[in-house]
Structure 1
Amino acid sequence: MPSQGFSAETFAFLASLKANNAKEWFDAHKPDYQRFIKKPADALRADLAGQISGLTGHETTSKQFRINRDLRFSKDKTPYNAHIRMAFWPKGKAFEGREAQPPSFFVSFEPGLIRLGTGCMTFSKTALGSYLHALESGSGDKISALLSDLAGKGFERSAPDLAKAPRGFPKNHEHTDLARHKGLAVWTSLADTGSVIGETAASFLVDTWKPTLAFWTWLVDLSTSE
């Protein structure tokens, strides 16, 4: 049975939390958090994991990021995240361990906005080496074409991490710009939060991710290559 998705009250709660980001307010509205955020998010995440497994052909695992912010190294001391964020990635030894940064599908539900992404936020050391080698050895044309196609479909590429290509990468190479990435992802934003209200929420999100499947598969192949 599909999840019921979110409700208008979900996004109203997130907006109110953003405007009243304090422990006293949150404690007073904890039943609303459980009803409009926690329970529907848990159900939607399970539904999404199953549908993503069907889309990719890989058994999928997932996580939902905590609503409590990590304040240890932040100047911003507001205690809560006024969003719901989830990530989904394939099961398997290649995607496990402390260094693993598996190719994932990401979603963030925010007041008045849904943001979806696909990719690797940061490559593992091994995957980064494979990525740079792929750019040099001919696969750069394929990933460049995939990214260009996705740009035409409304997916923006993540910003590069480096001001120039890393040492050892050929100067004036046609894919020097891609070599500046230490991770690679594409993102799109949707202003219609109503699209995830009701039982079609999961199928809508998976349909939105579908154009990125070839890009995700390229990253999975990169991560599992010897």
Structure 2
Amino acid sequence: MTVVSFQSETFAFLKALAGNNTKDWFEANKAGYQRFIKKPADAFRPALETALRDLTGRDIVSKQFRINRDLRFSKDKTPYNTHLRMAFWPEGGRFEGKEAQPPSFFLSIEADHIRIGTGCLVFSKPVLGAFLRELETGGGDVLAGLLNGLKAQDFEVSAPDLARAPRGFPKDHPHAGMARHKGLAVWKSVEDTGLVQGEDGANALLDIWAVTLPFWKWQTGLLDKAGT
């Protein structure tokens, strides 16, 4: 019977790949990639879509990022990512890579830990405008409270993108620091890789994502305010 989860060999493969990041090694071990990375990921991702649909009340779609690295503009020419990453967002939204994303849920399977995220890495221009208006006109207090609550539960807030608040935003505003973000997400690292091994892996992740649901809903509300 196929178990909808990863295995200890998944993490062993990623660790070995990190130490042997060459095309020759990968081709020689491609059967291991198919068995311990691709096959469980192809089974696990739909299970997470279902779990997140139950959590959010929205139909969820997803994408899995390629194991092959994009080397076109990188000084690092190692050919493969040594992690497995997925993103999940409501059906009807558009995930535009590095340009903009809807509020999403993220999962990164690393060689020795798991990283779980919620939020939007890059706001579209209309959503960024709505975000800044919310910060300036009172919504920032709500957001600050949500983020402080998540920090108390060991979530990290993504680093700001700008050195100072953007032009036009009051420099002395209490949320001027938050206005330095062009996207905003929260992340939690889990050292216990057993979390996604076994039949309850999807539910275990859902318990973590559930804590971030009010933050996700706050960001989702920006879409309506931005008219997108």
State the TM-score, normalizing by the size of structure 1: 0.96
Task: Give the aligned partner of residue 146 of structure 1.
Answer: 146
- Structure 1 residue identity aligned to 2:94: E
Tell me: CA distance 1:197–1:205, structure 2 relative to 1, closer, same or farther (3 Å).
Answer: same
Query: What is the CA distance between 1:46 and its match in structure 2?
Result: 0.6
Once the two structures are superposed, residues 66-100 of structure 1 have per-residue CA deviations (whole angstroms, 9 ceiling, x without a partner) of: 000000011111100111100000112xx237565
Query: What is the CA distance between 1:18 and its match in structure 2?
Result: 0.6
Tell me: CA distance 1:165–1:2, structure 2 relative to 1, closer, same or farther (3 Å).
Answer: farther
Task: Give the aligned partner of residue 24 of structure 1.
Answer: 24
Task: Give the aligned partner of residue 94 of structure 2.
Answer: 96
- Structure 2 residue identity aligned to 1:69: R
Q: Are 1:5 and 1:201, in contact at CA under 8 Å, matched by a contact in 2? A: yes
Q: Give, in whole Å, the separation in 1 of the partners of 2:197 and 2:24.
A: 28
Could you tell me which runs of 5 or more consecutive residues in structure 1 were left unpaired when the two chains were aligned: none
Task: Give the aligned partner of residue 73 of structure 2.
Answer: 73
Q: What SS is found at the alignment partner of 1:86?
A: strand
Q: Are 1:2 and 1:47, in contact at CA under 8 Å, matched by a contact in 2? A: no
Q: What SS is found at the alignment partner of 1:73?
A: coil
Task: Give the aligned partner of residue 163 of structure 1.
Answer: 163
2:180 aligned with 1:180, yes or no?
yes
How many residue pairs are counted as aligned between the two chains?
Answer: 224
Q: Give, in whole Å, the separation in 2 of the partners of 1:171 and 1:140.
A: 15
Q: Give, in whole Å, the separation in 1 of the partners of 2:3 and 2:178.
A: 39
Query: What is the CA distance between 1:189 and its match in structure 2?
Result: 0.3
Once the two structures are superposed, residues 41-64 of structure 1 have per-residue CA deviations (whole angstroms, 9 ceiling, x without a partner) of: 011001001100110011101000
C-alpha root-mean-square deviation of aligned residues, in Å?
A: 1.4
Q: Are 2:67 and 2:81, in contact at CA under 8 Å, matched by a contact in 1? A: yes
Task: Give the aligned partner of residue 136 of structure 1.
Answer: 136
Q: Are 1:2 and 1:199, in contact at CA under 8 Å, matched by a contact in 2? A: no
Tell me: CA distance 1:195–1:143, structure 2 relative to 1, closer, same or farther (3 Å).
Answer: same
Q: Are 1:3 and 1:47, in contact at CA under 8 Å, matched by a contact in 2? A: no
Once the two structures are superposed, residues 75-131 of structure 1 have per-residue CA deviations (whole angstroms, 9 ceiling, x without a partner) of: 111100111100000112xx2375651001011011111011100001000000000
> How many percent of aligned residue pairs carry the same amino acid?
59
2:10 aligned with 1:10, yes or no?
yes
Task: Give the aligned partner of residue 214 of structure 1.
Answer: 214
Tell me: CA distance 1:97–1:19, structure 2 relative to 1, closer, same or farther (3 Å).
Answer: closer
More off after superposition, 163-172 vs 96-105: 96-105
Q: Are 2:95 and 2:102, in contact at CA under 8 Å, matched by a contact in 1? A: no
Task: Give the aligned partner of residue 195 of structure 1.
Answer: 195
Q: Give, in whole Å, the separation in 1 of the partners of 2:20 and 2:147.
A: 39
- Structure 2 residue identity aligned to 1:5: S
Q: Give, in whole Å, the separation in 2 of the partners of 1:90 and 1:83.
A: 24
Q: Are 1:68 and 1:80, in contact at CA under 8 Å, matched by a contact in 2? A: yes
State the TM-score, normalizing by the size of structure 2: 0.95
